[in-house]
Structure 1
């Protein structure tokens, strides 16, 4: 598993966010218009103000060398429904290196353990096959839950203004996955320690 750090948005990351999000493979997948560094500064200010009022939990993803590799956030937080949505994008040069799964694990830990939410929805535009494939690789996700959560699906398609798929992470499945993973690591460590006895 990739080692990452999640940090708060700060203006010092503005140029790198702009650089990574301007690459056509990222920009087009996100449906971003052509922007400027100033637009990126405004984006940072906006997400910070939305976090202050409890609408989002936005984070910058850094690798083990403190390089910015992408962004992730919990958004549309609904404390009454105990749910939210998650969004993540990884810079093109970092695709396929495990940063998506590592950042999802970290953000889901915040959602389920710190915020005590029950569901975190992950959507993707129907045309964004790469995002769908990345989500399908996650062992703790339930795929194609559009009929189970029609209101969430409808809201997502309204926001994106196009057909979308809807997947979900549940607290129960996520916590079961992380406990199993921890047990395997403990068991593996125990075996290694006993080999030296």
Structure 2
């Protein structure tokens, strides 16, 4: 479902990235394939320096369908950026990809907090975030950060996923990542 980023998947991902319903909402905008290749190389290097964690989201056949990343990592916290290619919207890939990524960053890489800044115009992403039981709207509780991300105008909502809240959720629900993988293997 997830793998570390590499340059071999760039063609497939770039073709998905440039769709008009995807492109406006991605953090790393590439206006041509070579630029996307360069940005991917920078992302891989940033992960080696501990500034970013980035994974490719794969479908059940191992095809790249999007990316999920934690950017601007400081003090064991960072900002989530995720996108799926248009053909994969509404196909059930978002939630398991996030579960696998959150499991890795919280339990293997010692991240304590994940923030999501979502454009108020991006209704699809806000609805996806708000249906996750471990996500908290943090516009008021993290007021200084909310104001920082909206310095140019009231564009974003700020959401927070705390490791403790996510851990409690996984304890209540059982280890759904491993159960889902077991079902796919069967």
Q: TM (normalized to structure 2)? A: 0.86
**Within 2, Cα distance between the matches of 1:116 and 1:166?**
22
Are 1:104 and 2:98 counterparts? yes
Secondary structure (helix, strand or coil) at the match of 2:82 reads strand
Q: Distance in 2 between matches of 1:33 and 1:46?
A: 13
Measure, in 1, the Cα distance between the counterparts of 2:21 and 2:153. Answer: 20
For 2:62 and 2:141, the matched residues in 1 are separated by 40
> In the alignment, which residue of structure 1 is the partner of 2:146?
153
Cα gap change, 1:33 to 1:106, in 2 (>3 Å): closer
Instruction: Quote the residue 2:111 is aligned against.
Output: 117
Q: Given that residues 118 and 126 in structure 2 are in contact (C-alpha distance below 8 angstroms), is that contact kept between their aligned partners in structure 1?
A: yes
Which of 155, 158, 163 is residue 166 of structure 1 equivalent to?
158
Q: Which has the larger radius of gyration?
A: 1
Looking at structure 2, the residues matched to 13 and 161 of structure 1 have their Cα atoms a distance apart, in angstroms, of 36
CA distance in 1: counterparts of 2:29 and 2:93, whole angstroms: 25
Aligned mates of 2:124, 2:175 — CA distance in 1: 32
CA shift digits 1:81-117 (9 cap, x unpaired): x321111101110001221111111121122112223
Is residue 4–residue 54 contact of structure 2 (8 Å, CA) maintained in 1?
A: yes
Is residue 28–residue 39 contact of structure 2 (8 Å, CA) maintained in 1? no
Aligned pairs, number: 177
Q: Show structure 1 runs of 4+ deviating over 6 A.
A: none
CA contact (8 A) 1:74 1:107 kept: no
Higher helix share: 1
**Cα separation, 1, equivalents of 2:169 and 2:128:** 18
The answer to whether structure 1 residue 64 and structure 2 residue 57 are counterparts is: no
Residue-by-residue CA offset, 1:115-144 (whole Å, 9 max, x unaligned): 22321111101111111111112122112x
My pick for the range that moved more, 25-34 or 39-48, is 25-34
Q: Do the aligned residues in 2 keep the contact of 1:125 with 1:162 (CA within 8 Å)?
A: no
- Rounded to whole Å, the distance in 2 between the matches of 1:44 and 1:22 is 15
- The equivalent residue for 1:141 is 135
Name the CA shift for 1:34/1:110 in 2 (closer, same or farther; >3 Å).
closer
> Alpha carbons of 1:184 and 1:45: their partners in 2 closer, same or farther (altered >3 Å)?
closer
